[in-house]
Amino acid sequence: MRFLFFDQIKLIEKGRRIVGLKTFPLSEEYLGRHFSRQPLVPGVILVEAMAQLIGWLITYSHDFELTSLLTMVENVTLPSRMTPGATAEIHGEIISTTKDGTLARGKVLVDGKEVGNVERIIFAHFASVPKEELKQRFAYYGGFRAAKVQPSPAPRVYARPKHPRSVVVTGLGVVTPLGIGTVRNWRRLLAGESGIRRIDILSDRNLPAPFAGQVSQDDWQEIVSRQPEEAARKGERRVLFALQAAMEALDDAGLTRHAPMGARAGISLSAGLGINRLEDILLGLDGNGRFCSRRFAERLEHLHPESMFLNPTDRPAAEVAIRYGLMGPNVTTTSACAAATQAIGQAYRVIRRGDADVMVVGGADSMIHPVGAVFFVLLGAASKSKKGPDGVSKPFDRRRSGLVMGEGAGVAVLEAEEHARERGARIYAEVAGYGASIDAYQITAPHPKGRGAYAAMADALRDAKMEPEEVDYINAHGTSTKLNDSIETLAIKQVFGGHAHKLAVSSSKSMIGHLLGGCGAPEFVYTVLSVYHGAVHPTINVTHPDPKCDLDYVTEGCRRMNVRAALSNSFGFGGQNAAILVREGRAKWDKPWKSN
């Protein structure tokens, strides 16, 4: 590529950092003639010069051929007009360089005043970039490949609303052992079908807990085909589940065509427990079986694709945000089995107080790997039943023997009601209230009197300004463990009093297993669908009722009923508790809370 106007280049070497400075006059000839063959805004001219400068730095410092490089420009803030006669300075800095490419950034000064910047300029080798990606992600400008650049609008100033805003659900997406998508999940849930099966993605056939709510191999391959970019890079199961569920939810909400969605759209997802994989630990062991940090560092290229070293806890949220341009509030919750419901509740409050108009919420998790398969057995929480997949997850049953792991993701789109109605969105339900608490009792056992669970549910009702009698359904945490099911039942009776026995209560985990850090996400989706469709799914496998669990667990099958409002519960290790309340989106509620 021929360099133009590079007669004034200054090279600065600062340790490992390489900074370049290019100065040139903004003459009428430069602004008009040089790019007259293309209708380019002046900001693109500056990006052209910046990319050329950094390309020169790469060839100077790393001996790469510029013709073998592809450039992508992200996060651009540049002026839409430039005055002839001023002097422009282009500053470029290389952040890091690998065999696959270079990451750089730059800024623009006009007459000594900074007027714009480019946060990320990525130079990648042609050989390492699939042709289809080139077609999708890059536009062509006068012999130079770069992302399309438009002048940044003046920032809008948002004032917080005087009154809390109503928050509604406008999009839903889910991946579980029951399948991909809300339609298939809902149909199978109402039919009482189980997605729990013998684990077949691990080579060990003698697992202490051989059954799990595993996403089927056919569904997994379909997800991989729908998310080729992530699958080709690392292919971490949680990230792929989150991307698939988010794609469905945003498409369902009619928002995918609006990407990038900007600073008024954010994301709040839960993350599961990060555990070192055995394969990664073995990389660092020396001949005596001792862990050697140096040996481990020298073998990082052999890390398992799903290694926690390659997949930090916030990676699912980050990847979804990058794909859809969600630049607003960002939350990743890691509060065990209550994490997803807490992520949804926090996002609800973000919109309610006016800090965002749209929040993508939910969670994803998978611990179906060698360490995860024994982790909950060692804790005494997992079922070791070998009787078969059909009856292994038995919430509220007297013969329940422990939780059954599941995997997958659930994602919902929350919106300020006025924002949703302004764009004509379908409204599934209104998010009416949220409550969270901690038992402050033990790490692995709930408070014996249900203190924390009671507080979370009561706070959700109080937040919604609703009476207990106005709730018709509870999607219970219902883990199939001895302690959780009986104590959750006790807490429900404490909160709802005599109305507790009139409630329909069911556990989705009887069919999909326990998604751990992500469990509250698909259960929130199912709760919203119950309100929207007026139907409640059953709790399956309750063959021997427990006298301590004496509520209506909808054991006879799907029940068609009017669900004015519904509660979704999530309780986790560490005494974490969360409850979120949804109600019919068509109704308006303004009744004051009556203190008990």
Catalytic residue from among 91, 419, 447, 514: 514
Spatial distance between the Cα atoms of 11 and 427, rounded to a whole number of angstroms: 57
Spatial distance between the Cα atoms of 426 and 543, rounded to a whole number of angstroms: 39
**Residue 169 is inside which H or E element, if any?**
strand 167-176
- Residue 477: active-site member: yes
- The single-letter code of the amino acid at 475 is N
Q: How many CA atoms lie within 13 A of 199 on its CB side?
A: 27
Spatial distance between the Cα atoms of 509 and 196, rounded to a whole number of angstroms: 10
Closest CA to 122 of 57, 181, 69, 198: 69
Catalytic residue from among 337, 419, 537, 549: 337
HEC string for 323-362: HHCECCCEEEECCHHHHHHHHHHHHHHHHHCCCCCEEEEE
Mutual orientation of helices 451-464 and 482-496 as an angle, nearest 10°? 40
DSSP code per residue over 203-219: S-S--SS-EEBPPPHHH
Closest CA to 514 of 568, 556, 566, 570: 570
Spatial distance between the Cα atoms of 460 and 567, rounded to a whole number of angstroms: 8
Catalytic residue from among 477, 519, 537, 549: 477
Spatial distance between the Cα atoms of 494 and 450, rounded to a whole number of angstroms: 9
Spatial distance between the Cα atoms of 261 and 47, rounded to a whole number of angstroms: 23
The tokens of 370 are what? Answer: 């060698």
Spatial distance between the Cα atoms of 305 and 578, rounded to a whole number of angstroms: 32
Residue 272 sits at φ, ψ, to 5 deg, of -85, -170
Contact criterion met (CB below 8 Å) for 148 and 140? no
- Residue 258: active-site member: no
Q: Is 73 helix (H, G, I), strand (E, B) or coil?
A: strand
Active site residues: 337, 477, 514
